[in-house]
């Protein structure tokens, strides 16, 4: 069993107008096998939390900690975080010109595992995972994110996740821009990976729609850079009916 623990996390970002405080004391603990949803209005700091976990250089940790099984994640480079078992699916994935999906996946797998995967089983794993996600085999020869549709980007992220087998996956607005069919396929991928590896999931979303397909045990409402309320799945149902207005009045 693994634990990802975030304690009293304060994070700022440098803007043209100076330093801006975004996260103001976030506490969160996720264990293997658990699915936590972070919900909240736009601009509440959800993506900042995801980027901070991933080690994005733009975000400065002012105080607090992130640990993975007691190891200090904030001391780790981006590569070391991936090696330690953290996976982040970005809200805005970048293009990697000249690098095909096949090569990208193999390089990532080799980096995370510390050794190249055995070729035959790897090819089989990639094919299977692509078929599960209803991706055309020709997709593997395309350059990463170049001209990918929104749905293709998301599938590519989930494909990476299924093959890298992280301990914890942070999925930032994986549901945005997906039609219902693509949402189902992507959600099934997440659920399959959960079942296969027992990973913990931090699912960041503005909308409740994806929670019908990926069911969280814990829901955290994020407002103004910290958790304003926590509960079980019933909290997501309430947000679906009432929205975030109530919290914005308090904040
Ligand atoms: P959410 O994902 O909940 O919509 P974000 O974490 O993206 O929220 O943003 C939180 C706040 O921090 C917003 O006001 C946003 O404008 C600001 N912010 C986030 N990243 C940056 C950045 N790189 N530069 C300037 N402001 C930023
Ligand atoms: Mg946003
Ligand atoms: Mg966001």
Structure token digits, residue 79:
């590569």
**Model pLDDT for residues 185-203, shown as the tens digit of each residue:** 999 999 999 999 999 999 9
Name the residue of 45, 88, 244 whose CB sits within 8 Å of the most ligand 1 atoms, as the mutation to test its pocket: 45
- Taking the centre of ligand 3 as the mean of its atom positions, its distance from the CA of residue 163, in whole angstroms, is 25
**Model pLDDT for residues 24-60, shown as the tens digit of each residue:** 999 999 999 999 999 999 999 999 999 999 999 899 9
**Which stretches of the chain drop beneath a pLDDT of 50?**
none
* Cβ neighbours, 10 Å, residue 115: 9
- Taking the centre of ligand 2 as the mean of its atom positions, its distance from the CA of residue 173, in whole angstroms, is 9
CB burial of residue 162 (10 Å; 0-12, 13-18, 19+): buried
For residue 170, what pLDDT is reported? 96
Q: Cβ < 6 Å from ligand 1: which residues?
A: 13, 15, 20, 22, 40, 42-48, 58
Structure token digits, residue 11:
């994070």
CB burial of residue 33 (10 Å; 0-12, 13-18, 19+): middle
* Ligand (nearest to CA of 45): 1
- Taking the centre of ligand 1 as the mean of its atom positions, its distance from the CA of residue 14, in whole angstroms, is 11
Q: Of ligand 1's atoms, which has the minimum distance to the CA of residue 42?
A: 4
ipTM tops the 0.85 cut: yes
For residue 145, what pLDDT is reported? 85
The 3-state secondary structure of 52-84 reads HHHCCCCEEEEEEEEEECCEEHHHCCHHHHHHH
Give all domains of the chain, ordered by start, each with its CATH number: 3-250 (3.40.50.300)
62 φ/ψ angles, rounded to the nearest 5 degrees: -80, -40
Instruction: Please tell me the pTM assigned to this model.
Output: 0.93
Contacts of 175 (CB under 8 A, 6+ apart): 183, 186, 205, 207, 209, 210
CB 218 within 8 A of CB 232: yes
């Amino acid at each position: 069993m693994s634990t990802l623990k975030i304690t009293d996390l304060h994070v700022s970002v440098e803007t043209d107008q100076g330093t801006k405080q975004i996260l103001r004391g976030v506490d969160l603990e996720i264990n293997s096998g658990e699915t936590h949803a972070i919900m909240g209005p736009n601009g509440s700091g959800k993506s900042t939390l995801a980027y901070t976990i991933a080690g994005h250089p733009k975000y400065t940790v002012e105080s607090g900690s992130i640990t993975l099984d007691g190891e200090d994640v904030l001391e780790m480079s981006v590569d070391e975080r991936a090696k330690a078992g953290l996976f982040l699916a970005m809200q805005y994935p970048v293009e990697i010109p000249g690098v095909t999906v096949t090569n990208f996946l193999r390089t990532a797998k080799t980096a995370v595992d510390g050794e190249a995967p055995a070729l035959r089983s790897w090819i089989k794993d990639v094919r299977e995972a692509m078929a599960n996600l209803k991706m055309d085999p020709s997709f593997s020869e395309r350059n990463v994110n170049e001209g990918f549709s929104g749905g293709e980007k998301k599938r590519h992220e989930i494909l990476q996740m299924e093959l890298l087998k992280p301990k914890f996956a942070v999925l930032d607005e994986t549901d945005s821009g997906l039609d219902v069919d693509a949402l189902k396929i992507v959600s099934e991928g997440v659920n399959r990976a959960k079942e296969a590896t027992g990973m913990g999931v931090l699912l960041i979303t503005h909308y409740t729609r994806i929670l019908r397909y990926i069911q969280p045990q814990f829901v955290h409402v994020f407002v103004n850079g910290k958790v304003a309320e926590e509960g079980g799945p019933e909290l997501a149902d309430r947000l679906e009916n009432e929205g975030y207005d109530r919290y914005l009045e308090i904040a």
